[in-house]
Structure 1
Amino acid sequence: MNITINEELRSFIDPLTHNEYAALERSLLAEGCRDALVLWGDVLIDGHNRYDICTKHGIEFRTVQNSNFASLDDVMLWVIDNHLARRSVSDYQRGVLALRKKDIVTARVAQRAAEPESPAAEEEKQLPEPPPWNTREDVAKAARVSSNTISQIERIQKAATPQLVEAVRAGTISINAAANVASLPEEVQIAAVAGGRKELQQAARQVREQKAASRPPKEVPQDAEAELRAQVAVLRDKVDALTQENNDLKARLGIA
């Protein structure tokens, strides 16, 4: 059987961690390869890790064909949707995948807009339009995370070192904390990752504190300030009244 590995497609999905790969290897050795590998022609599109392990240990495997694709972009979109539906995919990985899908869909829309009209294009106009994917909310909905989380993932992708990205993938640091650490110089990020979880948390906390200190103090409207002072005065009167009642009760009971 001739199976071709497309490196672009293989690298499209984040690799398994060492522990995840080892767990999959133990499972295949104990139970065999129960799930079929998916091919597009002779190109492997799903099951790269299983294929590596099965080939390494001589484990038998099955293959199935999926011929519903017209291009590699179609394959990538299918792979993304396939992984987005899996429970084991982390919030960070889902966010990255959804952002990659947005890039593909956006590029397709731009390409179609630049192409001259043709009979085939006219027929395509009759087909239902895909989701717009032109806002952060669209991406967040597909990834099943908040828009703020997508924004943080974008910051990580833009500025984080490979070491910090790996720490997020491994769960050593949260997405929120990693987005803060990613604003630091590369050498500081690398040192924080090398220092472990506590060092990363401390670096993230320092960034948050610096941001908070740099924000101008919020001005309280005069009307609101007057209302707050009136409420404080009422509370003080109540405290004074309760204090007096307490003193009177003590006097009646002969308590010093």
Structure 2
Amino acid sequence: MDIEINEELRAYIDPLSEDEYAALEGSLLAEGCRDALVLWGNVLVDGHNRYGICRKHGIEFRTVQNTTFRSMDDVRLWMIDNHLGRRSISDYQRGVLALRKKDILQARAAAAPAPAAPADAAETPPTRDGGAPAEPARPAMATREAVARAARLSTATVAQIEQIQKAAAPELVAAVKSGTISISAAAAVATLPAEEQVVAVAGGKDELRRAARQVREKKARARPADEPAAAGGGEGEDDLPPESTDVAELQGLVRALRAENADLKRKVANLTVALKEARGAKAESGM
């Protein structure tokens, strides 16, 4: 079978870093390709990096068909869920993927035909207890809270990622992805004009911190004394709230730190499993 590479699907998930790619290549050379590549017909859905490395070094691989796909959106949703559940990705990437899933599901709900309305209210069946009929179900992931649960992040962090996607210059997005600036600091810098964002990125980490701090201080000065601050504090020492930070901001910081702690525990668990598998494979090869 001739495997077809869809460039949109290959670029749908952020590529591996150089270190991650080198680690994968070393694993495939040492152990072979143990996981089957996932296809939809001839189209490669999962395993683009493995496929390229296997072809480069002549490593044998297996393929498996996913017969549940009915559309490209089905493929995208599967890719999102697969990476959210399996791959060690950054909080920013996780938030972006969950927001993409929300957009797909909401577009589907909007395109679905509306249920036929009864001729008049008298024909509307009552509920089992005789009360008024229930409200129609909301589309999946219709709320920021639902997106946050899917991404295993705080709602404040999801809101910050939405701000970055909406207003951040490409250079600022790249800085977030590389870890040069945290999500919350980037969300603050993203409120600046695009030209100022680019200048801040060019100035490096210290300049980005300074720009984020200035934005927060300006917002704090402009806020009326009796107006509560928005929740969603920082994620690192460059994001420490200013002296005017109130309880709501501190609560947002706690939520973000808890989400980060949960993510670290998940990463440690994944590394533990990977180490056990590697030791098992090494023991088998040495027998």
Q: TM-score range by the shorter chain?
A: 0.7 to 0.9
CA RMSD of aligned residues (A): 2.3
Which deviations, in whole Å up to 9, do the C-alpha atoms of 1:60-88 show, x marking residues without a partner? 22211111111111111111111111251
3-state SS in 2 of match to 1:113? coil
1:155 Cα offset (Å): 0.5
3-state SS in 2 of match to 1:22? helix
8 A contact 1:17–1:170 mirrored in 2: no
Residue 159 of structure 1, aligned match among 162, 167, 171? 167
1:130 Cα offset (Å): 9.4
Q: Structure 2 length as normaliser, TM-score?
A: 0.67
Moved more, 10-19 or 153-162: 10-19
Per the alignment, do residues 187 and 20 of structure 1 end up closer, same or farther by CA in structure 2, a change over 3 Å counting?
farther
Which deviations, in whole Å up to 9, do the C-alpha atoms of 1:149-203 show, x marking residues without a partner? 1111011001112221122122221110110111122222222223322221121
Aligned to 2:47: 47
Identity rate, percent: 70
Aligned to 1:78: 78
Per the alignment, do residues 154 and 31 of structure 1 end up closer, same or farther by CA in structure 2, a change over 3 Å counting?
same
Moved over 6 A (4+): none
Q: How many residues align?
A: 208
CA distance in 1 between counterparts of 2:87 and 2:6 reads 26
- Structure 1 gap segments, 5+ residues each: 117-128, 220-256
Per the alignment, do residues 180 and 174 of structure 1 end up closer, same or farther by CA in structure 2, a change over 3 Å counting?
same
1:131 Cα offset (Å): 6.3
Moved more, 24-33 or 139-148: 24-33
CA distance in 2 between counterparts of 1:206 and 1:200 reads 10
Whichever residue aligns with residue 160 of structure 1, its letter is A
Per the alignment, do residues 85 and 178 of structure 1 end up closer, same or farther by CA in structure 2, a change over 3 Å counting?
same
3-state SS in 1 of match to 2:113? helix
Residues 1:192 and 2:191 are matched in the alignment: no
Whichever residue aligns with residue 106 of structure 2, its letter is T
Aligned to 2:177: 169
3-state SS in 2 of match to 1:107? helix
Q: Per residue, is there more helix in 1 or in 2? A: 1
Moved more, 75-84 or 198-207: 198-207
